[in-house]
């Protein structure tokens, strides 16, 4: 059983508001949900790649990964959560998955962003993918209007 710590609220007293009750808010850094599909139906391929690239197994810092079989049954997917967007870009994740897949004789057939990503992660991906020197957000037209 979990031991509950008694803490005072940041604002107000410990009593519940008579009509509104209480709210609890948690906060974390931005997370990027980014998935890469492989031309394979073999779940073990996706699981092997996910295991190799995730942070907890000495892969990329700030990366969580799972191998999944898609419900369509047409392919498998390496599903990732980038929890440290300051350390790893979606392109680096994509490129590492592509390399690991090729080592296993499998090709990447697509990728998907689930939800939103910070602009800086997109800029960093462009820098990583195109090896642009001296590039940052200040060189994006729309951010200078």
> Is the pTM above the cut of 0.85?
no
pLDDT at 13 exceeding the cut of 90: no
Contacts 24+ apart (CB under 8 A), 85-88: 85/29, 85/30, 85/31, 85/32, 85/117, 85/118, 85/120, 85/121, 86/29, 86/62, 87/60, 87/61, 87/62, 88/60, 88/61, 88/62, 88/63
Which of 25-34, 105-114, 136-145 has the largest mean confidence? 105-114
Average pLDDT value for residue range 9-38: 86
pLDDT score for 1: 59
Name the average pLDDT for the chain.
Answer: 92
- Please give the Cα distance from 136 to 13 (Å, whole number): 46
Where are the chain's structural domains? 32-116
Q: Strands 32-38, 63-69: parallel, antiparallel or unpaired by DSSP?
A: unpaired
- 29-62 pLDDT, tens digit each: 999 999 999 999 999 999 999 999 999 999 999 9
On the CB side of 69, CA atoms within 13 Å amount to 9
| pLDDT top residue among 52 and 26 | 52
CATH number for the domain running over 32-116:
3.30.70.670
């Amino acid at each position: 059983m979990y031991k509950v710590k008694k803490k005072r609220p940041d604002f107000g007293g410990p009593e519940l508001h008579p009509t509104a009750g209480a709210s609890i808010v948690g906060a974390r850094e931005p997370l990027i949900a980014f998935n890469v599909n492989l031309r394979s139906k073999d779940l073990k391929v996706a699981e092997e790649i996910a295991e190799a690239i995730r942070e907890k197994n000495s892969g990329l810092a700030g990366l969580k990964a799972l191998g999944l079989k898609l419900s369509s049954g047409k392919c498998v997917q390496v599903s990732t959560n980038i929890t440290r967007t300051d350390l790893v870009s979606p392109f680096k994740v994509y490129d590492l998955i592509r390399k690991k897949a090729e080592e296993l004789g499998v090709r990447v057939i697509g990728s998907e962003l689930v939800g939103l990503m910070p602009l800086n992660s997109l800029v960093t991906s462009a820098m990583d993918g195109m090896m642009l020197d001296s590039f940052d957000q200040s060189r994006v037209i729309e951010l200078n209007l």
